[in-house]
A and B are shown apart, each in its own frame.
Chain A
Amino acid sequence: MKQGYFTVLTNEKLTSNVYKMTLAGDTKAIERPGQFVNIQIDGLFLRRPISVCDLEDGKLTIIYKVVGKGTEKMSAMDGGEILDILTGLGNGYFTDFAGDKPLLIGGGVGVPPLYYLAKCLLKEGKTPTVILGFNTASEIFYKDEFEDLGIKTIVCTADGSVGVKGFVTDGVDQVGEYTHVYTCGPEPMLKAVYNKTTSDGSYSFEERMGCGFGACMGCSCKTKYGNKRICKDGPVLQKEEIIW
Chain B
Amino acid sequence: MVNTRVNLCGVELKNPVVPASGTFGFGYEFNDIYDINVLGGISIKGTTKDARFGNPTPRIAECTSGLINSIGLQNPGIEKVINEEIPKLRSVYNNVIISNISGFSIDEYKYCCEKINAVKDVDIIEVNISCPNVHNGGMSFGTSPENAQAVTKAVKSVTDKPVFIKLTPNVTDIVSIAKACEEGGADGISLINTSQGLRIDLNKRRPVIANKIGGFSGRAIFPIALKMVYQVYEAVKIPIIGIGGVATAEDVIEMMMAGATAVQVGAENLVNPYACRDIVNNLPRVMQKYKINDLNEIIGEAHK
Contacts and interface: CB of A to CB of B under 8 A. Distances in A.
Interface of A: 1-3, 40, 44-47, 86, 207-211, 213-222, 227
Contact of B74 (A86, A208, A214, A217): A217
B65 A218 contact: no
CB-CB nearest 7 A-B residue pairs: A211-B270, A218-B60, A208-B58, A217-B74, A208-B60, A210-B60, A46-B62
A211 B29 CA distance: 13
Contact of A218 (B29, B53, B59, B66): B59
30 contacts: A1-B32, A1-B33, A2-B33, A44-B62, A45-B66, A45-B67, A45-B219, A45-B271, A46-B60, A46-B62, A86-B273, A208-B57, A208-B61, A208-B208, A210-B267, A211-B23, A211-B270, A214-B25, A215-B24, A215-B29, A215-B269, A216-B23, A216-B71, A217-B22, A217-B71, A218-B59, A218-B71, A219-B59, A219-B60, A220-B57
A1 B274 CA distance: 12
Contact of B65 (A45, A215, A222): A45
Interface of B: 22-25, 29-30, 32-33, 45, 53-54, 57-67, 69, 71, 74, 208, 218-219, 267, 269-271, 273-274
Nearest to A219: B57
A217 B273 contact: no
B81 to A, nearest CB: 14
A45 B63 contact: yes
User: Most A CB atoms within 10 A — which of B53, B60, B65, B267?
Assistant: B60
Contact of B58 (A1, A44, A207, A222): A207
A124 to B, nearest CB: 28
Contacts of A221: 57
Query: What is the interface of chain B mostly: helix, strand, loop, or mixed?
Result: loop
Contacts of B59: 208, 210, 217-220
A219 B208 CA distance: 14
A47 B30 CA distance: 18
B181 to A, nearest CB: 27
Nearest to B218: A45
Contacts of A222: 53
Contact of A213 (B53, B60, B66, B273): B273
Contacts of A213: 273
A197 B271 CA distance: 38
A208 B207 CA distance: 13
Given A217-B59, A218-B57, 18 more contacts: A45-B271, A46-B60, A207-B57, A207-B58, A209-B60, A210-B267, A210-B270, A215-B25, A215-B30, A215-B269, A215-B270, A216-B71, A216-B270, A217-B71, A217-B74, A219-B59, A220-B59, A220-B74
A218 B269 CA distance: 13
A220 B54 contact: yes
A209 B274 CA distance: 18
Contacts of B67: 45-46, 210
A197 to B, nearest CB: 25
Contacts of B32: 1
A214 B23 CA distance: 9
Nearest to A69: B62
A207 B208 CA distance: 12
A209 B29 CA distance: 17
Nearest to B66: A45
Contacts of B29: 214-215
Contacts of B269: 211, 215
Contact of B271 (A2, A47, A208, A227): A47
A227 B53 contact: yes
A3 B62 contact: no
B74 A227 contact: yes
A215 B23 contact: yes
A221 B55 CA distance: 10
A208 B267 CA distance: 15
Contacts of B23: 211, 215-216
B88 to A, nearest CB: 14
